[in-house]
Amino acid sequence: MAEFDRDTGTSLWPHEVYDLLRRAGVTQFAYVPDAGHKVLIDRSLADPDAHSVPLTTEEEGVALLAGADLGGARGVLLMQSSGVGNCINMLSLTAGARFPFLALVSMRGDYGEGNPWQYPMGQAVQPVLEAMGVICLRVTEPADVVPAVAAALTMAFQSGQAVAVLLTQKLIGAKPF
């Protein structure tokens, strides 16, 4: 499978992930823009049957997905690792009310990161998500992305869990600085 180019979003698996999410009944795509999610964002904007919801901060997405679930709909939160820190108290809602939760996190501050500002939050993503009851699935190989998202969909919407798929920099590449 082609290398993922984080600036252009070119490679096959983002399209496969979008199609998989839609087949699984996901209709609300919430995001703070990130190059790592460019294809999913653009596909959701072009999709007449999906809601594409740009957020001003990631915690809004946690609340949005809870509201979607109250109405019987499914959503996904697309964010960069830096946005995870913005979500933490709002995940009280997810954990307390046992809302299903699905997030795809494009990682910064890990494998090969050239911007030192990204390390504190990037390295804290998994421990703080786990501390709030979110199960993390780390993906490092292109062939593992679609199976990991499929697994996360089952965990979230069949088993009612909170799940984040961490798309590591080994997978999506480090942004050059």
Partner 1 sequence: MAKLNRIQMSALPPPVLDRRQAVPALIERPEDFLVVAGLAGTAQELTAMTADAPFVFGLGGAMGAAPMMGLGLALARPDRRVLVVTGDGALLMTLGALAAIAVQNPPNLSIVCVDNGHYGETGNQDSHTGLGVALDAIARGAGIPAVHRIDTMAEMAEGRRLLAEPGLCFILLRVTEGPAAKIKRTLSPHVVRDRFRAALAAAG
Using CB under 8 A, which of the segments 9-17, 91-99, 134-142, 163-171 binds partner 1? Answer: 91-99
**75 belongs to the binding site for partner 1 (CB under 8 A):** yes
- 3-state SS of 33-89 is CCHHHHHHHHHHHHCCCCEEEECCCCHHHHHHHHHHHHCCCEEEEEEEHHHHHHHCC
Closer of 28 and 82 to partner 1 (Cβ): 28
**88 belongs to the binding site for partner 1 (CB under 8 A):** no
**34 belongs to the binding site for partner 1 (CB under 8 A):** no
Contact pattern for partner 1 over residues 41 through 70, marking x by CB under 8 A:
----------x-xxxxx-xxxxxxxxxxxx
Out of 14, 24, 26, 28, which residue is the one contacting partner 1 (CB under 8 A)? Answer: 28
Residues 6+ apart with CB under 8 A from 43: 15, 18
Residues 6+ apart with CB under 8 A from 146: 13, 16, 17, 20
**92 belongs to the binding site for partner 1 (CB under 8 A):** yes
Query: Please, are residues 90 and 115 in contact by the beta-carbon 8 Å criterion?
Result: no
Nearest approach in angstroms of CB 155 to partner 1 is: 18
CA dihedral 114, 175, 33, 144 (to 10 degrees): -110
Out of 48, 72, 116, 176, which residue is the one contacting partner 1 (CB under 8 A)? Answer: 72
SS3 114: coil
Q: Which residues bind partner 1 (CB under 8 A)?
A: 27-28, 51, 53-57, 59-73, 75, 89-90, 92-93, 96-99
